[in-house]
Amino acid sequence: MLLAGRKILVTGVLNDRSIAFAAARLAQQEGAEIVLTGFGRGLSITRRVAEKLPEPCPVLELDITEPDHLSAVAADLESRWGRLDGLLHAVAFAPPSALDGNFLHTPWPDVARAMEVSTYSFAALARACAPLLAKAGGGSVVGLDFDAGQAWPGYDWMGVAKAGLEGCCRYLAHALGQQGTRVNLVASGPLRTIAATAINSFTSLQTAWDRSPLPWDVTDALPVGRAICALWSDWLPAVTGEVIHVDGGVHAVGAAPAPVTSAVGRDLDPVPAQVR
């Protein structure tokens, strides 16, 4: 089994359609032991969702912006397992004022909140868990991204936060590499998760995937979950500081596929239109 005996912490599970849930379920199927986290009003929801996993698992309280919560989770995992083989940072948030065309009008406190939750917390969680990861021989830290190489209308300050997350990933990979810890991000295409419902312009993001070289299903988090599990495994031992795109290939093309005709008039399969 790919993850036999691994001990893994998964944040961000709020329903069974989330990327985090898909990763947790697959990890259990591949032999891992899982602990989930939740906080506030979502804590009871996460506990109910944990019952839907192949093996119901513990749920710890974690507000990722609270240092005391981070310390308490690390202490629990120390006493529970004595080590940590992998973790998933699947947490992001931006106030409505930071999304959907408000970029020029978002006040700094709302920008700061988006950056704290969506960017800084990645480093904070990794820092809190670093000693446990070291005890596992290094372990693997994985975060969730949405391609920050370009501007997405309506994504606004969350896009800036994701760009910061990508930079944070590289610096974390450098900082934790000496203890053997790998740090990577998985950049997913758009999926109809709870996070997506907070973005009124989600439909416009979704239509951008009309140019996807491979079919993309906005209801299927399984491909992203598989990539996360691969990063938790031993199969990518020298990959760190990387952003792995699981988006059907949209990041690699600049225009929607268009049918072309060969010199003898036979229709060919659609190929990406040339960008001039």
Q: Report the C-alpha gap between 143 and 125 in whole angstroms.
A: 11
Is residue 162 annotated as part of the catalytic site, yes or no? yes
Is residue 155 annotated as part of the catalytic site, yes or no? yes
Kindly list the distances between the CA atom of residue 64 and the CA atoms of 38, 141, 199, in Å, as whole numbers in the listed order: 9, 15, 22
What residues contact residue 264 under an 8 Å CB cut-off, 6+ apart?
A: none
Kindly list the distances between the CA atom of residue 65 and the CA atoms of 10, 20, 171, 206, 219, in Å, as whole numbers in the listed order: 16, 19, 20, 30, 29
Q: Report the C-alpha gap between 139 and 133 in whole angstroms.
A: 5
Q: What's the distance, CA 88 to chain centroid?
A: 7
State the sign of the Cα–Cα–Cα–Cα dihedral 161, 142, 219, 270: positive
Place of tokens 């998933």: 88
Q: Report the C-alpha gap between 94 and 200 in whole angstroms.
A: 13
116: left (phi over 0), alpha (psi -120 to 50) or beta: alpha
Place of tokens 């973790």: 87
- The DSSP symbol for 16 reads T
Write down the catalytic residue from 7, 135, 155, 171.
155
Residues carrying an active site annotation: 155, 162
